[in-house]
Amino acid sequence: MPKRFYVTTPIYYINSVPHIGTALTTLAADALTRYDRMMGGDPYFLTGTDENGTKIAEAAAKAGKPILQFVSEMADQFESIWKQMHIQYDDFIRTSEERHTLVVQEVFRRLRDAGYIYKGEFEGWYDVSSETFYKESELIDGKSPEGNEVRYVKDPIYKFKLSAFSERLLEHIENHPKFIVPETRKNEVVSFIKQGLLDANVSRPNTGWGVPVPDDDSHVIYVWFDALVNYISAIGWPDGDWQKYWPADVQLLGKDILVRFHATLWPAMLMGLGLEMPKTLMTHGYILTGGEKISKSKGNVVAPVELAIELSNRAGICQDLAIDVVRYYSLRTMPYESDWTFTLEDFEQRYNTELVNDVSNGVHRVISMLHNFCDGKIPNGKVDPEAVQVFHSDVDEYSTHMKESRIDMAVAVIVRVANRINGTIDRSKPWELNKNQDPRLGEVMRSLAWMVRVLEGICRPITPTLADRIANLLNLEPCERVDLALDVSNLPSVHSINPPDPIYPRLDLSASKDTLKESHKIHDTDEITIEDFLRVKLRVARVLEATPVPDADKLLRLDLIVGAEKRQVLAGIAQQYQPEDLIGRQVILVSNLKPRKLRGFESQGMILAADGPNGEAILLQPDKEAPEGTSVH
**What residues line the site for ligand MSP (CB under 6 A)?**
10-13, 21-22, 24-25, 50, 227-228, 230, 253-254, 256-257, 286-287, 293-294
Q: Quick one: which H or E segment has residue 180?
A: strand 180-181
Complex with ligand MSP: residue 37 or 262, whichever CB lies closer: 262
Shortest reach from residue 457's CB to ligand MSP, in Å: 28
Nearer to ligand MSP, 7 or 11 (CB): 11
Tell me the C-alpha distance between 209 and 53, whole Å. 8
H/E segment holding residue 288: strand 287-289
Contact by Cβ (8 Å): 213, 203: yes
- Going by DSSP bridges, is the β-strand pair 250-254/5-8 parallel, antiparallel, or unpaired? parallel
Instruction: Give residue 351's Cα distance to chain centre.
Output: 21
Nearest-approach distance from CB 151 to ligand MSP, in angstroms: 19
For the beta carbon of residue 559, count every other beta carbon within 10 angstroms: 16
DSSP string, 540-596: EEEEEEEEEETTEEEEEEEEEEETTEEEEEEES-TTT--HHHHTT-EEEEETTSPPE
What is the closest distance, in whole angstroms, from the C-beta atom of residue 132 to ligand MSP in the complex?
10
Which residue number, 260 or 567, has a Cβ lying nearer to ligand MSP?
A: 260
Work out how close the CB of 594 gets to ligand MSP at its nearest, in angstroms, rounded to a whole number. Answer: 30
Widest pairwise Cα distance in the chain? 95
User: How far apart are alpha carbons 558 and 570 in whole angstroms?
Assistant: 6
d(CA 469, CA 513): 28
Shortest Cβ 324–ligand MSP spacing (Å): 20
C-beta of 21 vs 362, nearer to ligand MSP: 21
In the complex with ligand MSP, which residue's Cβ is closer, 242 or 601? 242
Rounded least distance, CB 19 to ligand MSP, Å: 7
312 with 325: CB under 8 angstroms? no
Nearer to ligand MSP, 282 or 541 (CB): 282
Closer residue to ligand MSP, CB minimum distance, 18 or 572:
18
Taking the C-alpha atoms of residue 265 and residue 281, their distance in angstroms, rounded to an integer, is 13
Peptide bond into 2 cis (omega under 30): no
C-beta of 317: minimal distance to ligand MSP in Å? Answer: 26
Residue 446 · residue 378 · CB < 8 Å: yes
* Residue 23 CB, nearest approach to ligand MSP (Å): 9
* Shortest reach from residue 599's CB to ligand MSP, in Å: 28
Q: Roughly how many angstroms between the first and final C-alpha of the chain, as a whole number?
A: 69
Closer residue to ligand MSP, CB minimum distance, 25 or 54: 25
d(CA 128, CA 122): 16
Whichever of 50 and 199 has its CB closer to ligand MSP, that residue is 50
Q: Which is nearer to ligand MSP, 35 or 286 (CB)?
A: 286
Q: Cβ of 239: how many Cβ atoms within 10 Å?
A: 8
Rounded least distance, CB 234 to ligand MSP, Å:
11
C-alpha–C-alpha distance, residues 542 and 563, integer Å: 9
* Nearby residues of 498 by Cβ (< 8 Å), 6 or more positions away: 367, 472, 473, 474, 475
Q: Which residue is nearest to ligand MSP (CB)?
A: 254
DSSP 8-state class, residue 12:
E
Report, in Å, the least distance between residue 93 CB and ligand MSP. Answer: 10
CB closer to ligand MSP out of 44 and 336: 336
Distances (CA, A) of 343 to 151, 329, 334, 414: 35, 11, 14, 22
**Separation in Å, CA 332 to CA 238, 290, 459:** 39, 20, 12
Q: Least CB distance from residue 181 to ligand MSP, whole Å?
A: 15
Nearer to ligand MSP, 227 or 441 (CB): 227
Q: What sign does the CA torsion over 26, 32, 35, 40 have?
A: negative
